[in-house]
Structure 1
Amino acid sequence: MPRFAVVGNPENRRVTLFADAVRSAGLPAPRLLAWADVLRDGARFTPGEIVRIDSPGENAEVERLLRGAADPTRVEGTARWYTRFTAAVREVARAASAGGATLLDDPAELAVLFDKRRCHGVLRTAGVPVPESPTSGPGAAAVGSWAEARSVLGAAGLRRAFLKPAHGSSASGVLALESDGRGRFRATTSVELGPDGSLFNSLRVRRYGSEPQIAAIVDALAPDGLHIERWIPKAAQAGRVADLRVVVVDGRATHAVVRTSLSPMTNLHLGGARGDLTAARASVEASGARWTDALAVCEAAAACFPRTLCVGVDLLPKTGWRGFVVGEVNAFGDLLPRLTGLPGSGAEGLDTYGAQVAAVRSTQGKSGTYRARP
């Protein structure tokens, strides 16, 4: 039987939901290695263990160790977080190899997934439809200030664009920018700009119409790296903009949820709400497209990361549900509680974590050894 080990935060529901799925499959409870302990003292594994690397988020002490910030609500410091996190993942991989364990998450692929510029470039090179971006790929110029961002936006002809921290997550630090073409800008974001110029995450989406305020935010974010991409006009459902989070497990789209919002950001913690997946599928097919083609786009995106068991793909439906582009691919995009698998996916009746456990058992097969896809 598979023996799982999880590197994660013990109190996090991601860890508890995965452990529940393992036990529900009749397997021994996974061995837990707390991120705080791993970051301080390293990790050790035993022969045959299957190692899941889970999100280090939502833990103040782990955030301090990775980002160096005493206040976990601060937005800045994502470059330091990225450097320390990817180094820690490489150390976990070395420990797994030394102990005869197997990883479910590839360190090199995680390093790409947590750099929006590199990830966007990999997807584009593979022919996966993505929004136009002047900052993606190895040859793109870095953006180091609002003045440079403004220049890049103008040169690319982008009057509506998303500006994102290169290593951010959960919409932290993201600005939806609009220009009237006459030099005036407006930004929609969850960033709260402090009186001293500090940036804080907020659960309230707000709008800034003053360019000096926008410049202050972007200039504070720029040292950590910035990614810019075209703002794709998205389809609507019940008067709200809509997109989809599609979970791909072992190369197959298994779960999907519609996310709707009155703001450009559909993240559920920012006021987004789950939409109607059946209605979304009907809208896709009414437009003349095929639902299977939408899922195939997600599977093509996941195929760019073949040594990572599970990813969450943000699929952006164009206006009228006519075509799709991939906004992002998320390494830890499987937190969709109580959502069961799509019909015909092979994960019917299983949540996202149960589907991953089942995929490992299936891949392990008669050999008794789990092997990642080549």
Structure 2
Amino acid sequence: MTIRFAVVGTPGDRRFTMFRDAVLSHGLPEPHLIPWRDVLAQQGHPGGARASGLVPEGALVRIDSPGEDAGADALLRGPGDPTRVGGGAAWYAAFTRGLRTIASIPGVTLLGDVDEIAVLFDKRRCHAVLERAGVPVPPAFEAASYDDLREKMAERGWARVFVKPAHGSSASGVIAFQTHAGRVKAVTSAAWVGDVLSNSLRVRSYEGEADVRRLVDVLAPDGLHVERWFPKASIGAEVFDLRVVTVAGVPTHAVVRASRTPMTNLHLGGRRGDLEAVRSRPALWERVLDVCSRAAACFPGSLSTGVDLMVGGDWRSLAVAEVNAFGDLLPGLGDLSGNHRDTYTEQVRALLSAAKGGDGGTNHPKAASGGANRPDSARRASWT
């Protein structure tokens, strides 16, 4: 039987085109694309009755990021400039409804657990899951306003924190905040365009308390996850962290993200650094792989995760900053085994190995499907 894939994604998005290329390279039919716009348009139709026609019968369904589609963003957050910061709570509510719409389609076989995706898009819940599992994470609290942030920092004796919108991604609205001798400083990629706080590709600093208060209080209504600043290791003049991609729970790809600013995201001026600086320290590298495997194990229904791992300034301590549901977009990055497979090829290979009943040398996924009357858990993917 020929395996058929369907992808919930965005037309023209690199995530879909790279996954499609990986599928075609294995001699399989081109994946069917289900635009997020179409899924979101089905909101309010319980049981997936109208959504059923979106998915070809028998297809394995991969859920991917809505990407940068302005139309999908408007359906998720409401009309407005797609570059604006904020609206995360509305986005999350619409996004999770969309996930439930997909999961409710009778007989659908999902390659990702929608409940886990929902947790991964809530930094507070994700942090709590990791902490309960003993995965190292920075201490954290929730804040409801600038005054609440300052009060809770003072209670804990923290002078430096990262303030993160609960449902943000790609560092949108993230603030590296510090206080010293009555002065404050906030480093962020958010910038005011008139009265609208917008994402930019340049990291900047705000040092007036009124400016910082305005930033935090605009973001606070959507929920704020605040983590104690974890001093990161540096290579030369740049601090760095790691994005480690796992497939079926196994770390398969890693990239060093180095920057002169607290934000290491590659789209904000970070660059791919020297991974050998970490791999050449065997004890450290083993702990990196172990922590990322343990983080992935917290989400056993997710075929792939992108773990953002911080290495401490002592080059010994580790802490997970994020676990990303859609963290596998790393063009041109080969696998850690040296087989020159990108992240999408590795996932297709894992799925084909599972379909043949093999393990391909690691633990690979097994997908389970069920009919409309089966409990939701029976329609989730289980990677064992």
> What TM-score comes out, normalization by structure 1 length?
0.92
Distance 2:160 2:144 in 1: 19
Alignment-derived partner of residue 168 in structure 1:
168
- Structure 2 unaligned residues grouped into runs of 5+: 43-49, 359-364, 369-381
Alignment-derived partner of residue 267 in structure 1:
265
Find the residue that maps to 1:69 and give its secondary structure.
Answer: coil
CA shift, 1:75, in A, is 0.3
Alignment-derived partner of residue 46 in structure 2:
none
Alignment-derived partner of residue 364 in structure 1:
355
Alignment-derived partner of residue 61 in structure 1:
71
Alignment-derived partner of residue 147 in structure 1:
147
Q: Deviations over 1:152-192 (max 9, x none)?
A: 11112211100000000000000000110x33210000010
Distance 1:33 1:74 in 2: 26
Find the residue that maps to 1:18 and give its secondary structure.
Answer: helix
Q: Which amino acid aligns with 1:43?
A: A
User: Percent identity of the aligned residues?
Assistant: 54
Distance 1:229 1:69 in 2: 31
CA shift, 1:40, in A, is 1.1
Alignment-derived partner of residue 193 in structure 1:
192
CA shift, 1:361, in A, is 1.1
Alignment-derived partner of residue 178 in structure 1:
178
Q: Which amino acid aligns with 2:5?
A: F
CA shift, 1:48, in A, is 2.7
Distance 1:9 1:300 in 2: 31
Distance 2:240 2:79 in 1: 34
Distance 1:219 1:323 in 2: 33
Residues 1:121 and 2:128 are matched in the alignment? yes
Q: Deviations over 1:100-157 (max 9, x none)?
A: 231111111111100000100100000000011123xxxxxxx221111111111122
Alignment-derived partner of residue 50 in structure 1:
60
CA shift, 1:66, in A, is 0.3
Q: Deviations over 1:10-65 (max 9, x none)?
A: 11011000000000111111111111112114633344311000100211111111
Judge conservation of contact 1:75–1:172 (CA < 8 Å) in 2. yes
**Mapping of residues 128-143 of structure 1, within 5 Å:** 128-135=135-142, 143=143
Distance 2:313 2:356 in 1: 44
CA shift, 1:292, in A, is 1.9
Alignment-derived partner of residue 327 in structure 2:
333
Judge conservation of contact 1:33–1:43 (CA < 8 Å) in 2. no
Distance 2:357 2:234 in 1: 47
Number of residue pairs matched by the alignment: 355
> What TM-score comes out, normalization by structure 2 length?
0.89
Alignment-derived partner of residue 24 in structure 2:
23
- Structure 1 unaligned residues grouped into runs of 5+: 136-142
Judge conservation of contact 1:69–1:77 (CA < 8 Å) in 2. no
Find the residue that maps to 2:356 and give its secondary structure.
Answer: helix
Distance 1:74 1:308 in 2: 29
Alignment-derived partner of residue 378 in structure 2:
none
Judge conservation of contact 1:78–1:168 (CA < 8 Å) in 2. yes
Judge conservation of contact 2:278–2:284 (CA < 8 Å) in 1. no
**Mapping of residues 192-211 of structure 1, within 5 Å:** 192-196=191-195, 198-211=196-209
Q: Deviations over 1:308-340 (max 9, x none)?
A: 110100010001421211000000100000111
Judge conservation of contact 1:9–1:59 (CA < 8 Å) in 2. yes
RMSD of aligned Cα (Å): 1.6
Judge conservation of contact 2:163–2:225 (CA < 8 Å) in 1. yes
> Pick from 262, 287, 290: which aligns with 1:293?
287
Q: Deviations over 1:219-258 (max 9, x none)?
A: 1001100000011110111320011000000010000000
Distance 1:101 1:305 in 2: 20
Once the two structures are overlaid, the 10-residue window that deviates more, 236-245 or 259-268, is 236-245
Q: Which amino acid aligns with 1:171?
A: A
Alignment-derived partner of residue 353 in structure 1:
344
Judge conservation of contact 2:366–2:383 (CA < 8 Å) in 1. no
Residues 1:253 and 2:251 are matched in the alignment? yes
The ranges of structure 1 where at least 4 consecutive aligned residues each deviate by more than 4 angstroms after the TM superposition are 366-369
Q: Which amino acid aligns with 1:184?
A: R
CA shift, 1:366, in A, is 4.3
Judge conservation of contact 1:14–1:335 (CA < 8 Å) in 2. yes
Alignment-derived partner of residue 242 in structure 1:
240
CA shift, 1:195, in A, is 4.1
Find the residue that maps to 1:206 and give its secondary structure.
Answer: strand
Distance 1:360 1:158 in 2: 45
